[in-house]
Amino acid sequence: MKEGVSNISKVVVLTMILTSFLEQENIVEIEMQEDAKDFDRNDSYTLLISCLQGGLEAASLIIKSTKEPIEFAKSKSAKEITLLVELWDRVVKMLSTMLSQNEHDTYAKFIGRTGAILEMLPPCILHVPKSSYKSLAGVLSEGALYAIKVSKFESHMDEIVDDICTECLQVFQECIIGLGKCDPNSSILKEIAENSLRDILVSSLPRKEKDSKALSMENGEPNNYFQEKVEIEIALIVCEVLRTGSKHLTDLIIIIFPWLCKLTNLDNERIRKKAGLVLGSVDLPRFIARNTEAAREAEERAKESLVLNENLSAALRELKAENERLRKQISRLS
């Protein structure tokens, strides 16, 4: 967007563009179905991406002009608040459209849009206000799972297309980076981390044992060579996100700590080193001290509650005794 344009104007323009995009989505889906594999609409998103970057930055500056949440900012006009809420509602819906699977789609729409998605996600994750964390986390969870699904599907093709898998995995990485920011305690993030590390450990087992474990998985088929390559990349991405986001993801790292320790014993040097870096990024003494202090405070609160409860019980017994004495006095007087 051009310099000199007010922030509020940038927000208005972006909101209008996103509204139009959502309204035209059905037309886009029909066009993509005409050439499922080779259709690439990344060029058509140039204007949207440019406006998205400028508009979200402008919205962020408006929000940062006060420390209050946008819904309760007394220093903002009702118009500004409405525009900001509406903007992020459109942004989340747009990302949901980009990252979700359509019932008529055979992954073509997602594959054709990965380039655009990779340009859209960073500014959205960077500028998202806390009021939109929950809704964006939901979309990113779906996007991460879908990116894994498409990557593994492409790895089963007769001719594996490395570029497609690479871009899908990059989308997966951006999704879990955003998920780690918006919802570090996400059950989906925990599931992805555990499953990715487990898959690598299974693939490192001796062939006979590996096949028996793979057959017990949901798909009922042993992993092939190309899928194992994808699973290695997924595990590496998960480890890298855990390492760089360790400040927010310490609790998750502690949960999967045993898995990470096992990975440091694998023959695969990349996995071994990456798992070691994750383990090294966690300040365990600080974590233990923090949890010890929390446990101590909880124990003190429990003791205080116990004392209070005993005092209340004693007071209640005294009141009952006094009530009984009064009842007897009234009985004698009558």
pLDDT at 217: 45
Residue 279's pLDDT band, with cuts at 50, 70 and 90, is: confident
Residue 214's pLDDT band, with cuts at 50, 70 and 90, is: very low
- The domain spans of the chain are 1-132, 283-334
Phi-psi region of 54 (alpha: psi -120 to 50; beta: other; left: phi over 0): alpha
**228 compared with 161, residue with greater pLDDT:** 228
Can you tell me the mean pLDDT for 210-238? 66
Q: Are 90 and 19 in contact (CB under 8 A)?
A: yes
pTM of the model: 0.74
| Residue for token pair 């009922």 | 220
Q: Please say if the pLDDT value at position 213 is more than 50.
A: no
Can you tell me the mean pLDDT for 193-220? 66
Residue 307's pLDDT band, with cuts at 50, 70 and 90, is: confident
Interatomic CA distance for residues 321 and 178, integer angstroms: 62
Q: Please say if the pLDDT value at position 210 is more than 70.
A: no
Interatomic CA distance for residues 142 and 147, integer angstroms: 9
**What is the DSSP-derived secondary structure letter of residue 13?**
H
Amino acid in the structure at residue 145: L
DSSP characters for 184-219? TT-HHHHHHHHHHHHHHHHHTS-HHHHHHHHHTSTT
Output 116-121 pairs: Cβ under 8 A, ≥24 positions apart.
Answer: 116/41, 116/42, 116/45, 116/48, 116/49, 117/171, 117/174, 118/167, 118/170, 118/171, 118/174, 119/45, 119/49, 120/45, 120/48, 120/49, 120/52, 120/94, 120/95, 121/95, 121/171, 121/174, 121/175, 121/178
